[in-house]
Amino acid sequence: MSLLTFFATFVFTAAIRLVGANNGGWDIGHATFYGDMNAGETMEGACGYGDLFKQGYGLETAALSTVLFNSGATCGACFEIQCFDDPRWCAPGSITVTATNFCPPNASKPNDAGGWCNVPLKHFDLSMPMFVKLTKDYHAGIVPVQFRRVACVKQGGIRFEIKGNRWWLLVLVFNVAGAGDVKAVSVMGESTGWVAMKRNWGQNWQAAGNFQGQSLSFSVTASDGRTVRSHNVSPASWQFGQTFDGSSQF
Ligand SMILES: *[C@@H]1O[C@H](CO)[C@@H](O)[C@H](O)[C@H]1NC(C)=O
């Protein structure tokens, strides 16, 4: 490569970056839907949230393709999505959804014929009631979208569902506002210091040890680096299967 070619390439790449930075953070992808107008996801998805209605996420959720899902790191993040550049199918307006599930790739389907969630596609699989807000006619089946990360708006504090057994603690962290996607969690019992938890799957975090009989506090760090501490979230008499509202929020 000559120096001139190199320089031209450099300027061109920089220009693309600049355009990218000036589009309000919008990126390009596609969206489809699953189920019918009544269907939400009540099954435990790949983020491990469990019953999305009980947990307050409702139908405003999406399953993300591999590159967006990022092995579960994106679970809990919120996206604003609008149909883009397709006058035949696009309705005006936008929706906001929380990432709660994984849309698996399918190696036996081409990317443009059902393999929507294959690498490297950026794809959202939506509940039908959300999809119909994007398009004039759901028969479109699949629509081009533009999307961007937005702050999650949640009511109440960060919530903690306590699972596991007497050898280890497993905690689902949900209803997280702000960045939404949690990247680190620590737990503290009355007779322990802060113990770093490991991501087990999705937004389920685990720590070895017996924390029974101790009031629990949690420290939650989101992808934007901010940390919120929720002290004495549970009474000492907590039981596996119970959920507690941390009252603190981003
Ligand atoms: C992938 O697509 C093929 C062909 O349509 C289908 O038979 C198969 O069940 C799909 N696999 C998954 C994991 O969805």
Task: State whether 145 and 163 are in the same domain.
Answer: no
Task: State whether 79 and 165 are in the same domain.
Answer: no
Atom of ligand 1 nearest to the CA of 107: 1
Of 125, 150, 175, the one marking the end of a domain is: 150
CB of 237 sitting under 6 A from ligand 1:
no
3-state SS, one letter per residue, for 149-170: EECECCCCCCEEEEEECCCEEE
CB of 107 sitting under 6 A from ligand 1:
no
Q: What is the pLDDT of residue 40?
A: 62
Q: Give me 164's structure tokens.
A: 């596991």
Q: What is the pLDDT of residue 16?
A: 41
pLDDT at 1 over 50: no
Q: Which residues contact 167 (CB under 8 A, 6 or more apart)?
A: 208, 210
Task: State whether 73 and 133 are in the same domain.
Answer: yes
CATH of the domain at 39: 2.40.40.10
Task: State whether 67 and 169 are in the same domain.
Answer: no
pLDDT tens for 115-166 read 999 999 999 999 999 999 999 999 999 999 999 999 999 999 999 999 999 9
User: Which of 66, 102, 109 gets mutated to test ligand 1 (max ligand atoms within 8 A of its CB)?
Assistant: 109
pLDDT tens for 82-103 read 999 999 999 999 999 999 999 9
Task: State whether 119 and 174 are in the same domain.
Answer: no
pLDDT, average across residues 221-242: 97
Task: State whether 139 and 205 are in the same domain.
Answer: no
Task: State whether 195 and 115 are in the same domain.
Answer: no
Domain limits for position 197:
159-245
Question: Ligand 1 mean position to 106 CA, how many Å?
Answer: 6
Say which residue, 36 or 67, is predicted with more confidence: 67
Q: What is the pLDDT of residue 12?
A: 44
Question: Ligand 1 mean position to 76 CA, how many Å?
Answer: 27
Residue listed under structure tokens 């509202």: 245
Q: Is residue 250 part of a domain?
A: no
Q: Are 171 and 163 in contact (CB under 8 A)?
A: yes
Q: What is the pLDDT of residue 35?
A: 84
Of 150, 169, 189, the one marking the end of a domain is: 150
Q: What is the CA radius of gyration of the chain?
A: 21
Q: Are 78 and 151 in contact (CB under 8 A)?
A: yes
Going by CA atoms, what residue is nearest to atom 13 of ligand 1? 106
Question: Ligand 1 mean position to 105 CA, how many Å?
Answer: 9
Q: Domains in the chain: how many in total?
A: 2
Task: State whether 97 and 175 are in the same domain.
Answer: no
CB of 108 sitting under 6 A from ligand 1:
yes
Task: State whether 164 and 144 are in the same domain.
Answer: no
Task: State whether 177 and 78 are in the same domain.
Answer: no
pTM: 0.88
Q: What is the pLDDT of residue 11?
A: 43
Task: State whether 18 and 140 are in the same domain.
Answer: yes
CB of 106 sitting under 6 A from ligand 1:
yes
Q: Is residue 241 part of a domain?
A: yes
